[in-house]
Structure 1
Protein backbone atom coordinates (compact mmCIF):
# COMPACT_ATOMS: atom_id res chain seq x y z
CA UNK A 1 0.00 0.00 0.00
CA UNK A 2 1.36 3.41 -0.93
CA UNK A 3 1.01 5.46 2.25
CA UNK A 4 2.52 8.54 0.61
CA UNK A 5 -0.23 8.44 -2.01
CA UNK A 6 -2.87 8.11 0.71
CA UNK A 7 -1.48 11.06 2.67
CA UNK A 8 -1.40 13.21 -0.46
CA UNK A 9 -4.98 12.21 -1.25
CA UNK A 10 -6.06 13.11 2.28
CA UNK A 11 -4.31 16.48 1.95
CA UNK A 12 -6.00 17.17 -1.39
CA UNK A 13 -9.52 16.52 -0.12
CA UNK A 14 -8.94 18.30 3.19
CA UNK A 15 -7.79 21.33 1.22
CA UNK A 16 -10.94 21.23 -0.89
CA UNK A 17 -13.13 21.24 2.22
CA UNK A 18 -11.13 23.90 4.05
CA UNK A 19 -11.25 26.16 0.99
CA UNK A 20 -15.00 25.53 0.49
CA UNK A 21 -14.29 24.06 -2.96
CA UNK A 22 -17.17 21.62 -2.65
CA UNK A 23 -19.38 22.21 -5.66
CA UNK A 24 -20.66 18.64 -5.46
CA UNK A 25 -22.20 19.28 -2.02
CA UNK A 26 -25.96 19.79 -2.36
CA UNK A 27 -26.37 20.99 1.22
CA UNK A 28 -28.90 18.24 1.94
CA UNK A 29 -29.62 14.63 1.02
CA UNK A 30 -30.11 14.02 -2.71
CA UNK A 31 -33.71 13.35 -3.70
CA UNK A 32 -33.09 9.88 -5.21
CA UNK A 33 -31.45 8.58 -2.04
CA UNK A 34 -34.00 10.24 0.24
CA UNK A 35 -36.84 8.54 -1.62
CA UNK A 36 -35.00 5.22 -1.57
CA UNK A 37 -34.40 5.40 2.20
CA UNK A 38 -38.00 6.45 2.81
CA UNK A 39 -39.33 3.18 1.44
CA UNK A 40 -37.12 0.91 3.60
CA UNK A 41 -38.98 -0.63 6.54
CA UNK A 42 -36.08 -2.54 8.14
CA UNK A 43 -34.22 -0.03 10.31
CA UNK A 44 -31.80 -2.72 11.50
CA UNK A 45 -29.92 -2.75 8.19
CA UNK A 46 -26.19 -2.16 8.43
CA UNK A 47 -25.39 0.79 6.15
CA UNK A 48 -22.15 2.34 4.89
CA UNK A 49 -21.82 5.77 3.27
CA UNK A 50 -18.30 5.89 1.75
CA UNK A 51 -16.74 9.16 0.66
CA UNK A 52 -19.41 10.67 2.87
CA UNK A 53 -18.09 14.22 2.90
CA UNK A 54 -20.44 16.37 4.97
CA UNK A 55 -22.68 13.34 5.34
CA UNK A 56 -26.10 14.67 4.36
CA UNK A 57 -27.30 11.17 3.42
CA UNK A 58 -26.04 9.80 6.73
CA UNK A 59 -27.60 12.65 8.72
CA UNK A 60 -30.99 11.96 7.17
CA UNK A 61 -30.75 8.19 7.60
CA UNK A 62 -29.76 8.59 11.26
CA UNK A 63 -32.58 11.06 11.93
CA UNK A 64 -35.24 8.72 10.57
CA UNK A 65 -34.10 5.78 12.67
CA UNK A 66 -31.19 3.93 11.05
CA UNK A 67 -28.69 3.36 13.87
CA UNK A 68 -26.41 0.67 12.43
CA UNK A 69 -24.96 3.33 10.14
CA UNK A 70 -21.31 3.97 9.30
CA UNK A 71 -19.74 6.86 7.44
CA UNK A 72 -16.29 6.98 5.92
CA UNK A 73 -14.11 9.69 4.42
CA UNK A 74 -10.40 10.03 3.84
CA UNK A 75 -10.45 13.60 5.16
CA UNK A 76 -11.02 14.39 8.84
CA UNK A 77 -12.39 17.84 8.00
CA UNK A 78 -15.94 16.95 6.85
CA UNK A 79 -16.17 14.15 9.40
CA UNK A 80 -15.50 16.66 12.17
CA UNK A 81 -18.22 18.92 10.78
CA UNK A 82 -20.60 15.97 10.58
CA UNK A 83 -20.04 15.07 14.23
CA UNK A 84 -20.61 18.68 15.30
CA UNK A 85 -23.90 18.70 13.40
CA UNK A 86 -24.88 15.23 14.67
CA UNK A 87 -23.64 15.08 18.29
CA UNK A 88 -25.60 11.89 19.04
CA UNK A 89 -23.99 9.95 16.21
CA UNK A 90 -21.60 7.26 17.58
CA UNK A 91 -18.01 8.31 16.94
CA UNK A 92 -17.05 4.64 16.63
CA UNK A 93 -19.18 4.50 13.46
CA UNK A 94 -17.34 7.42 11.89
CA UNK A 95 -14.28 6.18 9.96
CA UNK A 96 -11.47 8.45 8.79
CA UNK A 97 -9.59 6.17 6.40
CA UNK A 98 -9.01 5.15 2.84
CA UNK A 99 -12.06 3.35 1.47
CA UNK A 100 -9.94 0.59 -0.03
CA UNK A 101 -8.45 -0.22 3.39
CA UNK A 102 -11.83 -0.41 5.15
CA UNK A 103 -13.07 -3.70 6.58
CA UNK A 104 -16.71 -4.42 7.28
CA UNK A 105 -19.83 -6.19 6.10
CA UNK A 106 -22.94 -4.23 5.16
CA UNK A 107 -26.48 -4.81 3.98
CA UNK A 108 -26.58 -1.53 2.09
CA UNK A 109 -23.99 0.89 0.71
CA UNK A 110 -25.09 4.32 -0.48
CA UNK A 111 -23.26 5.93 -3.41
CA UNK A 112 -23.41 9.71 -3.73
CA UNK A 113 -20.53 11.50 -5.56
CA UNK A 114 -17.87 9.06 -4.32
CA UNK A 115 -17.49 7.01 -7.51
CA UNK A 116 -17.08 10.15 -9.64
CA UNK A 117 -14.35 11.47 -7.33
CA UNK A 118 -12.09 8.48 -8.05
CA UNK A 119 -9.81 8.41 -11.11
CA UNK A 120 -11.44 6.22 -13.80
CA UNK A 121 -8.56 3.72 -13.66
CA UNK A 122 -9.73 2.81 -10.12
CA UNK A 123 -13.28 1.90 -11.13
CA UNK A 124 -12.68 -1.84 -11.40
CA UNK A 125 -11.06 -1.74 -7.96
CA UNK A 126 -14.08 0.18 -6.65
CA UNK A 127 -16.48 -2.46 -7.97
CA UNK A 128 -14.45 -5.29 -6.41
CA UNK A 129 -14.19 -3.52 -3.05
CA UNK A 130 -17.93 -2.80 -2.96
CA UNK A 131 -18.56 -6.48 -3.67
CA UNK A 132 -16.25 -7.44 -0.78
CA UNK A 133 -17.92 -5.04 1.68
CA UNK A 134 -21.48 -6.21 0.98
CA UNK A 135 -23.05 -9.19 2.65
CA UNK A 136 -24.55 -11.81 0.31
CA UNK A 137 -27.78 -10.26 -0.95
CA UNK A 138 -26.60 -6.77 0.04
CA UNK A 139 -27.20 -3.78 -2.20
CA UNK A 140 -25.18 -0.89 -3.59
CA UNK A 141 -27.57 1.97 -4.35
CA UNK A 142 -27.05 5.49 -5.61
CA UNK A 143 -26.53 7.86 -8.49
CA UNK A 144 -23.83 8.09 -11.16
CA UNK A 145 -23.15 10.85 -13.63
CA UNK A 146 -24.38 10.07 -17.14
CA UNK A 147 -22.19 12.65 -18.87
CA UNK A 148 -18.57 13.62 -19.48
CA UNK A 149 -16.78 16.56 -17.90
CA UNK A 150 -14.38 18.93 -19.61
CA UNK A 151 -11.84 19.49 -18.30
CA UNK A 152 -11.56 16.11 -16.66
CA UNK A 153 -12.25 16.16 -12.94
CA UNK A 154 -12.80 15.25 -10.33
CA UNK A 155 -15.64 14.81 -10.94
CA UNK A 156 -15.12 12.17 -13.61
CA UNK A 157 -18.12 11.19 -15.70
CA UNK A 158 -19.08 8.22 -17.81
CA UNK A 159 -21.95 6.32 -19.39
CA UNK A 160 -24.33 3.49 -18.57
CA UNK A 161 -22.58 1.05 -20.92
CA UNK A 162 -19.21 1.81 -19.32
CA UNK A 163 -20.54 1.36 -15.79
CA UNK A 164 -22.24 -1.92 -16.64
CA UNK A 165 -18.87 -3.22 -17.77
CA UNK A 166 -17.52 -2.81 -14.24
CA UNK A 167 -20.52 -4.21 -12.39
CA UNK A 168 -22.34 -6.85 -14.44
CA UNK A 169 -19.98 -9.73 -13.62
CA UNK A 170 -20.05 -9.04 -9.86
CA UNK A 171 -23.65 -7.99 -9.19
CA UNK A 172 -27.21 -8.51 -10.26
CA UNK A 173 -28.10 -5.21 -11.93
CA UNK A 174 -31.59 -4.61 -10.54
CA UNK A 175 -31.80 -1.10 -11.91
CA UNK A 176 -29.71 1.33 -13.91
CA UNK A 177 -31.78 3.99 -15.59
CA UNK A 178 -32.10 7.71 -16.17
CA UNK A 179 -32.76 9.36 -12.84
CA UNK A 180 -36.26 10.82 -12.77
CA UNK A 181 -35.93 12.81 -9.54
CA UNK A 182 -32.57 14.60 -9.84
CA UNK A 183 -32.23 18.14 -8.54
CA UNK A 184 -32.80 20.69 -11.36
CA UNK A 185 -29.07 21.38 -11.84
CA UNK A 186 -28.42 17.68 -12.53
CA UNK A 187 -31.59 16.89 -14.46
CA UNK A 188 -30.83 14.63 -17.40
CA UNK A 189 -27.26 13.92 -16.32
CA UNK A 190 -27.67 11.19 -13.69
CA UNK A 191 -28.37 7.48 -13.57
CA UNK A 192 -30.06 5.83 -10.60
CA UNK A 193 -28.82 2.31 -9.93
CA UNK A 194 -29.44 -0.62 -7.63
CA UNK A 195 -26.92 -3.48 -7.66
CA UNK A 196 -27.27 -6.62 -5.57
CA UNK A 197 -24.52 -8.99 -4.53
CA UNK A 198 -25.55 -12.57 -5.31
CA UNK A 199 -26.60 -14.74 -2.36
Structure 2
Protein backbone atom coordinates (compact mmCIF):
# COMPACT_ATOMS: atom_id res chain seq x y z
CA UNK A 1 0.00 0.00 0.00
CA UNK A 2 1.40 3.36 -1.05
CA UNK A 3 0.68 6.03 1.56
CA UNK A 4 0.94 8.74 -1.08
CA UNK A 5 -1.09 11.80 -2.01
CA UNK A 6 -3.71 9.71 -3.85
CA UNK A 7 -4.21 7.47 -0.79
CA UNK A 8 -4.83 10.42 1.52
CA UNK A 9 -6.94 12.35 -1.01
CA UNK A 10 -9.19 9.29 -1.30
CA UNK A 11 -9.52 9.04 2.47
CA UNK A 12 -10.83 12.61 2.57
CA UNK A 13 -13.08 12.16 -0.46
CA UNK A 14 -14.69 9.03 1.02
CA UNK A 15 -14.82 10.56 4.52
CA UNK A 16 -12.63 7.80 5.96
CA UNK A 17 -11.02 10.14 8.46
CA UNK A 18 -11.27 8.29 11.76
CA UNK A 19 -8.24 10.17 13.07
CA UNK A 20 -10.08 13.49 12.74
CA UNK A 21 -11.38 14.53 16.15
CA UNK A 22 -13.40 17.46 14.78
CA UNK A 23 -11.84 19.64 17.50
CA UNK A 24 -8.53 20.58 19.07
CA UNK A 25 -7.06 17.58 20.83
CA UNK A 26 -7.44 18.33 24.58
CA UNK A 27 -3.80 17.53 25.49
CA UNK A 28 -2.53 19.81 22.73
CA UNK A 29 -5.00 22.54 23.70
CA UNK A 30 -3.70 22.36 27.29
CA UNK A 31 -0.13 22.69 26.00
CA UNK A 32 -0.98 25.56 23.64
CA UNK A 33 -2.80 27.39 26.44
CA UNK A 34 0.43 27.71 28.45
CA UNK A 35 2.47 29.12 25.56
CA UNK A 36 3.20 32.84 25.92
CA UNK A 37 5.39 33.77 22.94
CA UNK A 38 3.03 34.26 20.00
CA UNK A 39 5.95 34.97 17.64
CA UNK A 40 7.30 31.40 17.62
CA UNK A 41 7.43 29.55 14.30
CA UNK A 42 5.21 26.49 14.60
CA UNK A 43 4.83 23.55 12.22
CA UNK A 44 2.06 20.98 12.21
CA UNK A 45 3.16 18.14 9.91
CA UNK A 46 0.55 15.94 8.26
CA UNK A 47 -1.81 18.44 9.80
CA UNK A 48 -5.06 17.28 8.21
CA UNK A 49 -7.96 19.58 9.03
CA UNK A 50 -5.70 21.16 11.64
CA UNK A 51 -8.00 22.31 14.40
CA UNK A 52 -4.79 22.99 16.35
CA UNK A 53 -3.56 25.40 13.65
CA UNK A 54 -6.92 27.18 13.65
CA UNK A 55 -6.88 27.43 17.45
CA UNK A 56 -3.30 28.74 17.50
CA UNK A 57 -4.14 31.34 14.85
CA UNK A 58 -7.22 32.46 16.78
CA UNK A 59 -5.04 32.84 19.91
CA UNK A 60 -2.74 35.26 18.09
CA UNK A 61 -0.03 32.91 16.84
CA UNK A 62 0.67 34.20 13.32
CA UNK A 63 3.65 32.00 12.34
CA UNK A 64 1.76 28.71 12.13
CA UNK A 65 2.54 26.41 9.21
CA UNK A 66 0.70 23.26 8.17
CA UNK A 67 2.04 20.74 5.69
CA UNK A 68 0.00 17.90 4.25
CA UNK A 69 0.22 15.55 1.26
CA UNK A 70 -3.47 16.14 0.58
CA UNK A 71 -4.72 19.53 -0.56
CA UNK A 72 -8.27 18.84 0.68
CA UNK A 73 -7.70 19.45 4.43
CA UNK A 74 -5.59 22.51 3.69
CA UNK A 75 -8.48 23.93 1.67
CA UNK A 76 -10.87 22.98 4.50
CA UNK A 77 -8.76 25.01 6.93
CA UNK A 78 -8.62 27.97 4.53
CA UNK A 79 -12.42 27.79 4.14
CA UNK A 80 -12.91 27.78 7.93
CA UNK A 81 -10.45 30.65 8.53
CA UNK A 82 -10.36 32.79 5.43
CA UNK A 83 -7.60 35.07 6.74
CA UNK A 84 -5.22 32.20 7.54
CA UNK A 85 -2.14 32.98 5.40
CA UNK A 86 -2.34 30.69 2.37
CA UNK A 87 1.45 30.67 2.02
CA UNK A 88 1.59 28.95 5.43
CA UNK A 89 -0.55 26.07 4.15
CA UNK A 90 1.96 23.85 2.40
CA UNK A 91 0.76 21.19 -0.02
CA UNK A 92 3.72 18.84 -0.08
CA UNK A 93 5.78 16.10 1.48
CA UNK A 94 7.05 16.64 5.02
CA UNK A 95 10.36 15.00 4.09
CA UNK A 96 10.95 17.64 1.40
CA UNK A 97 10.37 20.62 3.71
CA UNK A 98 13.31 22.99 4.07
CA UNK A 99 12.57 25.48 6.85
CA UNK A 100 13.36 25.86 10.53
CA UNK A 101 10.83 25.99 13.35
CA UNK A 102 10.83 26.69 17.07
CA UNK A 103 8.04 24.25 17.82
CA UNK A 104 6.59 21.28 15.95
CA UNK A 105 3.25 19.86 17.08
CA UNK A 106 2.74 16.15 16.48
CA UNK A 107 -0.85 14.95 16.19
CA UNK A 108 -1.24 11.48 14.60
CA UNK A 109 1.34 12.13 11.84
CA UNK A 110 4.09 9.87 13.22
CA UNK A 111 1.63 6.99 13.43
CA UNK A 112 0.23 7.72 9.94
CA UNK A 113 3.53 7.30 8.10
CA UNK A 114 4.82 3.79 7.44
CA UNK A 115 6.90 2.48 10.38
CA UNK A 116 9.89 2.02 8.05
CA UNK A 117 10.04 5.85 7.87
CA UNK A 118 10.21 6.45 11.62
CA UNK A 119 14.00 6.78 11.82
CA UNK A 120 13.91 9.15 8.82
CA UNK A 121 11.12 11.16 10.56
CA UNK A 122 13.31 11.66 13.65
CA UNK A 123 16.29 12.79 11.58
CA UNK A 124 14.07 15.17 9.60
CA UNK A 125 12.79 16.64 12.86
CA UNK A 126 16.37 17.37 13.92
CA UNK A 127 16.82 19.28 10.63
CA UNK A 128 13.58 21.24 10.99
CA UNK A 129 13.99 22.30 14.61
CA UNK A 130 16.14 25.27 15.46
CA UNK A 131 18.48 25.34 18.44
CA UNK A 132 16.41 24.61 21.56
CA UNK A 133 13.46 23.77 19.29
CA UNK A 134 10.79 21.49 20.72
CA UNK A 135 8.74 18.63 19.30
CA UNK A 136 5.55 18.18 21.31
CA UNK A 137 2.49 16.07 20.84
CA UNK A 138 0.79 12.72 20.97
CA UNK A 139 1.77 9.22 19.95
CA UNK A 140 -0.45 6.15 20.05
CA UNK A 141 0.54 3.90 22.95
CA UNK A 142 -1.11 0.79 21.59
CA UNK A 143 -0.58 -1.92 19.03
CA UNK A 144 -2.82 -0.88 16.15
CA UNK A 145 -2.55 -1.93 12.50
CA UNK A 146 0.23 -3.70 10.61
CA UNK A 147 -0.97 -3.04 7.07
CA UNK A 148 -2.54 0.44 7.13
CA UNK A 149 -2.48 3.59 9.26
CA UNK A 150 -2.67 4.32 12.06
CA UNK A 151 0.39 2.30 13.02
CA UNK A 152 0.81 2.09 16.76
CA UNK A 153 3.75 1.48 18.99
CA UNK A 154 5.03 1.71 22.54
CA UNK A 155 6.97 4.09 24.72
CA UNK A 156 10.03 1.81 24.59
CA UNK A 157 9.98 1.78 20.79
CA UNK A 158 9.55 5.54 20.52
CA UNK A 159 12.37 6.19 22.99
CA UNK A 160 14.69 4.04 20.88
CA UNK A 161 14.10 6.48 18.00
CA UNK A 162 14.10 9.78 19.86
CA UNK A 163 16.64 9.32 22.66
CA UNK A 164 19.78 9.33 20.45
CA UNK A 165 18.79 12.70 18.95
CA UNK A 166 16.65 14.55 21.49
CA UNK A 167 16.56 15.46 25.16
CA UNK A 168 13.43 13.74 26.45
CA UNK A 169 11.53 16.17 28.70
CA UNK A 170 8.43 14.01 28.99
CA UNK A 171 6.94 10.89 27.44
CA UNK A 172 4.12 9.66 29.63
CA UNK A 173 0.60 8.27 29.43
CA UNK A 174 -1.80 11.04 28.61
CA UNK A 175 -4.24 11.92 31.40
CA UNK A 176 -6.52 14.18 29.37
CA UNK A 177 -7.13 12.29 26.11
CA UNK A 178 -10.56 12.36 24.54
CA UNK A 179 -12.69 9.42 25.69
CA UNK A 180 -12.14 7.25 22.61
CA UNK A 181 -8.36 7.47 23.09
CA UNK A 182 -8.18 7.12 26.88
CA UNK A 183 -5.24 4.88 27.80
CA UNK A 184 -4.00 4.79 24.21
CA UNK A 185 -1.96 7.99 23.97
CA UNK A 186 1.42 9.18 25.16
CA UNK A 187 2.04 12.88 25.58
CA UNK A 188 5.63 13.73 24.76
CA UNK A 189 7.88 16.76 24.70
CA UNK A 190 11.42 16.45 23.38
CA UNK A 191 14.02 19.12 22.78
CA UNK A 192 16.62 19.45 20.06
CA UNK A 193 19.96 18.00 21.17
CA UNK A 194 20.37 14.94 23.37
CA UNK A 195 22.40 16.46 26.18
The TM-score range, normalised by the shorter chain, is over 0.9
Q: Name the SS for the 2:4 alignment partner.
A: helix
Residue 116 (structure 1) aligned to one of 108, 111, 116: 111
What RMSD over aligned residues (CA atoms) do the two structures have, in Å? 1.2
Q: How far off its partner does 1:27 sit?
A: 0.1
CA deviations on 1:140-196 (whole Å, 9 max, x unpaired) are: 000000001146430000000000000001000000000010001100010000000
Which residue number corresponds to residue 21 of structure 1?
16
1:159 is aligned to 2:154: yes
Higher helix share: 1
The structure 1 residue matched to 2:45, chosen from 23, 44, 50, is 50
Q: TM-score, normalised by structure 1?
A: 0.94
Q: Which stretches in structure 2 are left out of the alignment for 5+ residues?
A: none
Match of 1:128 among 118, 123, 127: 123
- 1:73-124 Cα offsets, whole Å, 9 max, x none, are 0111111111011100011111000000011100000000100101111000
Q: 2:136 aligns with which of 136, 141, 146?
A: 141
How many aligned residue pairs are there? 193
Structure 1: 4+ residue segments shifted above 2 A:
150-153
TM-score by length of 2: 0.96
* Structure 2 counterpart SS, 1:128: helix
